[in-house]
Amino acid sequence: MPANFRLGTLVSRPMPPVERPVCQFAAEPPQSSLPHGRWADTLQQEFMAACLRVEPEEGEEIGSLGTITWFPDRTWHGRTYVPATARTSTGMELFGYVSFSPGDDEHDPGDFYAWADYTPDTADQHPDWRMDISQEAVGGWRGDGDDVAAMTLVWGVPLVRGGKVATAELGARTVDQCAVTEDRFTLLAPDAYADEYMDVVLWDATGGELARESLYEED
């Protein structure tokens, strides 16, 4: 019988203090299915309004919005975030999110806010990409001293087969995870804290690493 078992009861071992504590798994896991029906129509109106506020760089034309792809919801700090992407008629990609306060009744959300931006850099231009991810900071988490972690919403699509779970890694720590649903995932986790920066990691069903991407462009 292993030394840490006594009559079927697991005896926990004390863990040493963490040198630089940071929040882990702060966001609720997805609570709803991907948007559809009238709920999708409501979110679409908010997202389209945000897209209309996007101002392109000089010489670029965003074009008209195509079909919106919705991603799993994540809730943090009293707000729910539903990310989205959409290709445009000029080959650009619009990306962003709709957030809202869930309220007391899950069918009566309010205080909507939507944000959007665009990029000409799309996955079909990069056959070497293993994930297509977007991100935006949605708040901060104050740690020791003056350090503040950027609470960052990340949503993406695996471009390799077999992905089952995506995780956010801050240094050696896993700070969030999300199951891949219909080839989509959403993370909401701390980034840029104590000289550590987030990696997004895609895992298969056996716990094997399929892909790893930094949120930061390499030189």
pLDDT at 7 over 60: no
Q: Residue 85: beta bridge partners? A: 69, 95
In this structure, what token pair is assigned to residue 215? 């949120």
Whole-angstrom Cα distance, residue 131 to residue 213? 7
pLDDT at 2: 45
The tokens 């004390």 sit on which residue?
Answer: 14
Whole-angstrom Cα distance, residue 83 to residue 71? 5
pLDDT at 145: 83
Name the residue ranges covered by the structural domains of the chain: 24-212
Q: Residue 152: beta bridge partners? A: 137, 189
Q: What is the pLDDT of residues 77-102, one digit of tens each?
A: 999 999 999 999 999 999 999 999 98
Strand residues in 17-72 grouped as ranges (E): 65-70
- Residue among 205, 175, 179 at smallest CA distance from 193: 175
Reported confidence tier of residue 5, pLDDT bands at 50, 70, 90: very low
Whole-angstrom Cα distance, residue 52 to residue 131? 27
Reported confidence tier of residue 8, pLDDT bands at 50, 70, 90: low
Whole-angstrom Cα distance, residue 176 to residue 190? 9
